[in-house]
Structure 1
Amino acid sequence: MQLTAEIRTEHGKRPVRRLRNQGMIPGVIYGPEMEPVSIKLKKQEVEKFIHALSEAKPVTLRINVDGKTQDIEVFVKKVQIDKVTDEIVHIDFYKPAMGHVMRIEIPIRVVGKPIGVEKGGIMEVLHTELPVETLPGALVEHIEIDVSHLNLGESYHVRDLKLPEGMKVLLPADEALVTIIVPKGLQVEEVTAAAPAETIEPEVIKKGKKAEETEEEKE
C-alpha cells in the first residue's frame, strides 16, 4: 500500500484546523533512529485505504523532500478519530529499525469449523488482535489459528500458537483466544436423556421382588 505525503510546517490548533479544511490530514513519522517528522496527507486518499490500514501491514509513504522523492516504509501506529464527526484527525506512523524490537498488535485470523460447533456449541472469539514484541524481520500481517479440533467446552490458548522465531506474545500462556461454549439448552437435553435410565432400575427390582413373594405364597 502506498500513500503520498508532504512535509508539514503548520503546527498549533488554528493552522492544523485550516489544514483539515483544505482536505488534508496531519500526521507524524517517528522511530528509534530518527527525529519525529510532521507530515500531511490527502484526506481523500487516506479514506480510500482506511479499511485496509493495519498496525501489522507496512505502508509506503512517498514524500517529497527538497525536490527529491523519497519512499519510506512505515507502520500505522495510531489513528485518531473525531468522536463527533467520525472523521480522521491525525495519524501516527512508526518507522522501524533493524535490530530494534517493535510492539504492535497483529490481527488474528480464525480458520476451520470446530467439532464442538458441529455438536451444537457456540464459538466465541475472545481476542481479534494479538499484542506482540517482534523484530521487523519476523513481522507477519496476521496470525492464523486452526480451531477445527476444538470440542465442546474446549479453548485455544496462547500456548497453542505457532509463532515466527523472534516474536513474543504479551499475554499469559493460559490466556484463551477462542472458546467453544456449551449452550444451556444442550446441557439440559443431556441431563434429561440420562434421567430415565436412573429410574428404570428400581422399578424392575420392585417387580422382581413382587414376583418372588407371589411364588413364595404359592408354595
Structure 2
Amino acid sequence: MKSIKIKGSERESVGKKATKALRNAGKVPCVVYGGEKPLHFSADELSFRDLVYTPAAHTAKIDLGGTKIRAIMQDIQFHPVTDNILHIDFYQLFDDKEVTLNIPVRLQGNSPGVRNGGRLLFRKRKLAIKALPDKLPDFFDIDISKLKIGDNITVESLLNDDFEILHPDTTVVVQVKTQRAAVVVDDEDEEGEEGEVTAEGGDAPEAASEGGESQE
C-alpha cells in the first residue's frame, strides 16, 4: 500500500491555547495512538492533502526528526464552516500486528447487463479488512465485464489468504438488476457493442448505490 510522507514536529504543550495557536499558524494538531503512550505532534495542513482528499486508502510515514512512525489515519475532524482540518488521530502500525482498514472498491470493464438496459448497483464502495500492514491492498479491483442482468459479485469471490474481509461471504458488492426497458440477448449478440459503464478507477455513470456507502 502506498504511504504518504508527513513531516511534522512533536508538541510540547497540548493545551487549548497552544492548539489554537497551531491552527492559526496553518498547522494541524495530531495524536498517534497504539504505542507505549500517545504521541502528540503537528504538521502543516497542506501535508495531509494527499492523505485526506483522496478516495484511496494510504498509510502515513510520519517524520518527526529523530522519530519516524508508520501509521494509519483513524479519525479526522473538520471545521463545520471552513472545512479546515481541526484534528487527526493516527494509529501506529507494527509489522507483526494486524490492523483494520476500509479498502476502496474499483470496477473494471463494461457490464453487458448495463448495455442491455440493466441497472448497475454499486452496493459496497469500501470493504473493511484486517491484515498485517505489509499485506494491506490498495484497492479491490472487480471485473464486471461478464456481469449480466440478474448477476452479482459477492465478498466470497474476493477472499484472499493475505487478509480477512470483515463482511459475510454472501455480502453483495455490485450487481445488475433488471429495468422495464431491459432486454436479454445472447453472448454472440453482445460482441462489438459499445459499453456504457466506464471503470478503470472510476464509477459508472449509471451506477446507483442503495443504502449508502459502507463505513464499517
Shorter-chain TM-score: which interval?
0.7 to 0.9
Tell which structure's C-alpha radius of gyration is larger: 1
Which residue in the other structure is 1:200 paired with?
A: none
Which residue in the other structure is 1:62 paired with?
A: 63
Closer, same or farther: CA 96–45 of 1 in aligned 2, 3 Å: closer
Closer, same or farther: CA 178–53 of 1 in aligned 2, 3 Å: closer
Which residue in the other structure is 1:118 paired with?
A: 115
Closer, same or farther: CA 53–184 of 1 in aligned 2, 3 Å: closer
Closer, same or farther: CA 50–98 of 1 in aligned 2, 3 Å: closer
Worse overlay, 91-100 or 21-30: 91-100
Distance in 2 (CA, whole Å) between partners of 1:63 and 1:6 is 5
Distance in 1 (CA, whole Å) between partners of 2:159 and 2:169 is 12
Which residue in the other structure is 2:194 paired with?
A: none
CA-to-aligned-CA distance 1:149-188 (integer Å, 9 cap, x gap): 111021111111143x23111111111110112123337x
Q: Secondary structure at the match of 1:171?
A: coil
Which residue in the other structure is 1:156 paired with?
A: 153
CA RMSD, 1 decimal = 2.2
The answer to whether residue 135 in structure 2 is matched with residue 138 in structure 1 is yes
Which residue in the other structure is 1:193 paired with?
A: none
Kept in 2: contact 1:58–1:74 (CA 8 A): yes
In the TM superposition, what is the alpha-carbon distance from 1:48 to its structure 2 partner?
Answer: 6.0
Q: Which runs of 5+ in 2 are unaligned?
A: 185-216
Distance in 1 (CA, whole Å) between partners of 2:148 and 2:102 is 28
Equivalences, count:
182
Q: Secondary structure at the match of 2:18?
A: helix
From 8, 15, 24, give the equivalent of 1:21. Answer: 24
The answer to whether residue 184 in structure 2 is matched with residue 183 in structure 1 is no
The answer to whether residue 146 in structure 2 is matched with residue 174 in structure 1 is no
Q: Which has the higher helix share?
A: 1
Distance in 2 (CA, whole Å) between partners of 1:49 and 1:137 is 18
The answer to whether residue 73 in structure 2 is matched with residue 76 in structure 1 is yes
Q: Which runs of 5+ in 1 are unaligned?
A: 190-219
Distance in 2 (CA, whole Å) between partners of 1:129 and 1:49 is 16
Which residue in the other structure is 1:10 paired with?
A: 13
Kept in 2: contact 1:53–1:76 (CA 8 A): no
In the TM superposition, what is the alpha-carbon distance from 1:43 to its structure 2 partner?
Answer: 1.6
Which residue in the other structure is 1:36 paired with?
A: 38
Distance in 2 (CA, whole Å) between partners of 1:37 and 1:113 is 47
Distance in 2 (CA, whole Å) between partners of 1:139 and 1:117 is 32
- TM-score computed with the length of structure 1 as normaliser: 0.75
Which residue in the other structure is 1:98 paired with?
A: 95
- TM-score computed with the length of structure 2 as normaliser: 0.76
CA-to-aligned-CA distance 1:163-217 (integer Å, 9 cap, x gap): 3x23111111111110112123337x9xxxxxxxxxxxxxxxxxxxxxxxxxxxx
Closer, same or farther: CA 159–140 of 1 in aligned 2, 3 Å: same
Distance in 1 (CA, whole Å) between partners of 2:179 and 2:20 is 52
Closer, same or farther: CA 2–86 of 1 in aligned 2, 3 Å: same
Residue identity in the other structure for 1:6 = S
Worse overlay, 168-177 or 75-84: 75-84
Closer, same or farther: CA 100–10 of 1 in aligned 2, 3 Å: same
